[in-house]
Amino acid sequence: MRNVQKKTPTLWLIIVLVGFPQISESIFTPVLPALSQALQVSASHIQWTMSSYFVAFAVGVLWWGQLADRIGRRPAMLGGVGLYLLGNLGLLFSPSFGWLLGFRLLQAFGASAGSVVTQTIMRESFSGVVGAKIFAQTSAAMALSPALGPLIGGAMQTLGGYSAVFGTLVVLASAVLGYSACCLPETRPSQVALTGRQWPIVHRLLSDPVVWGYGILIGGINGILFSYYAEAPFIFETHFRFSALAYGALGLSLAAASLGGALLVSWLLNRWTPEQLVMGGLLLSCGAALGLWLAAICDTAWGMVGGFFLVFLGLNIALPNALNRALIGYEDVIGSASGWFSLGYYLLVSALTYGMSLLHSTSIQRLPVYCLVLVGGMLGVYVGLVPRTRTHRLSAESTD
């Protein structure tokens, strides 16, 4: 697709726009124990701020994607970031847990524009070799940004408490809004095919077992990640007495797992099929989750850190291949199909993160067992999916 008036966003702007929602998801995690005490609510209730985020994010992905086609990429992005700023201001001045939860939903709804609109801008601004390089560089940034959240949050919590974390989010939102207003071009083509009837697309997705299978994998993998972000502060800060800053630094191990998974995928794709990589990644994560549970039984902090690293290494081998294979055959309606598909798996992420909040207790074994059950379930789903996936892939690729 050609660029509009030869205007394209810079790589740095793309990285900022795709990265700020991910930082917002994870910067919250080091302050969960402190928020629980300050607002006088239980740990399981304060974890609702993690699971509810994805409900609003899922709805927002669908909303901003459709709106960007109707009014343009630039106004949709500025509108989303503006609501994100309002949500962060609300978090800073929230007088109670109810207000905090409401503004967290507004924050997530606005932040979702950074995900769906940025991906749309990238697809229509860059193509060929340049496009491949832009996506690769952006993927590396996406791997690092969630890990920066706990590190920044831990540092701000140490310096000024949870209010300093919310203040940092206000500064971040203001900077993103100003940068976007100054530098983001409009990339929407002059002729955009607006899809009116959505039900045929939804029905097609719901009746496709391949979409169901990969949706469960993608939602399950992200559900484990954000269940970790919801529960890990209580494991490492409350149980093992890590400082908020030390806990935040553990996020770098997750970044290393994400980058390591990406490098392994690039190397192994010359030897294995994408389906084999998904299976291998899930098997690695399943074995690592068992080891993680044993480390929790033995009450060893660094054993659990190593266990989480291996769990997420395996998941990050499986995830990019699942994302790549999920919507083969939907090229004719890829925009709407991506929006509905994202809505589905983000709702699953929210449900799984909420499930962790229901399971929360003083035991550090709950999260490892939850990981083991979820990875085992995903492996079972994928084993049943593989024959259909191969048929689907071969038939789709034979028509190319």
* Confidence (pLDDT) at 91: 93
Taking the domains of the chain in order of start, what are their residue ranges? Answer: 10-191, 195-394
Same fold, 10-191 and 195-394: yes
Q: If pLDDT is split at 50, 70 and 90, which confidence band does 376 have?
A: very high
What is the average per-residue pLDDT within 60-85? 89
Fold of 10-191: Growth Hormone; Chain: A; (1.20.1250)
Q: Is 142 or 199 the better-scoring residue by pLDDT?
A: 199
Torsion of CA 104, 106, 111, 117, to 10 degrees: 160
Q: How confident is residue 3, by pLDDT bands cut at 50, 70 and 90?
A: very low
Asked if 89 and 38 count as a contact pair (C-beta separation under 8 A), the reply is no
Report d(CA 230, CA 117) in Å as an integer: 27
On the question of pLDDT at 299 being above 90, the answer is yes
In this predicted model, which residue has the larger pLDDT, 225 or 25?
A: 225
What's the pLDDT score for residue 370?
97
184 secondary structure, DSSP code: P
Give the residue with greater pLDDT, 329 vs 134: 329
Higher pLDDT, 74 or 391: 74
Confidence (pLDDT) at 130: 65
The pLDDT confidence band at residue 7, using thresholds 50, 70 and 90, is confident
* The most confident of 73-77, 124-128, 175-179, 317-321, by mean pLDDT: 175-179
Cα separation, 325 vs 320, whole angstroms: 9
- pLDDT confidence band for 400 (50 / 70 / 90): very low
Please tell me the distance from the alpha carbon of residue 45 to that of residue 61, in angstroms, as a whole number: 25
Overall average pLDDT of the 9-38 stretch: 86
Task: Return the closest-CA partner of residue 176 out of 108, 275, 85.
Answer: 85
The gap from C-alpha 103 to its chain's centroid, in whole angstroms, comes to 19
Whether residue 192 is predicted with pLDDT greater than 70 in this model: the reply is no
Please, which residues have CB within 8 angstroms of residue 190's CB and are 6 or more apart in sequence? 4
On average, the pLDDT of the chain sits at 84
The hierarchical CATH code for the domain 195-394 is 1.20.1250.20
Segments in the chain forming alpha helices (H)? 11-26, 32-38, 43-46, 48-71, 73-93, 97-125, 128-160, 162-183, 199-206, 209-233, 244-249, 251-268, 274-297, 301-325, 334-359, 366-398
Residue 399, pLDDT score:
47
pLDDT digits (tens, 9 = 90+) for 138-150: 766 666 777 788 8
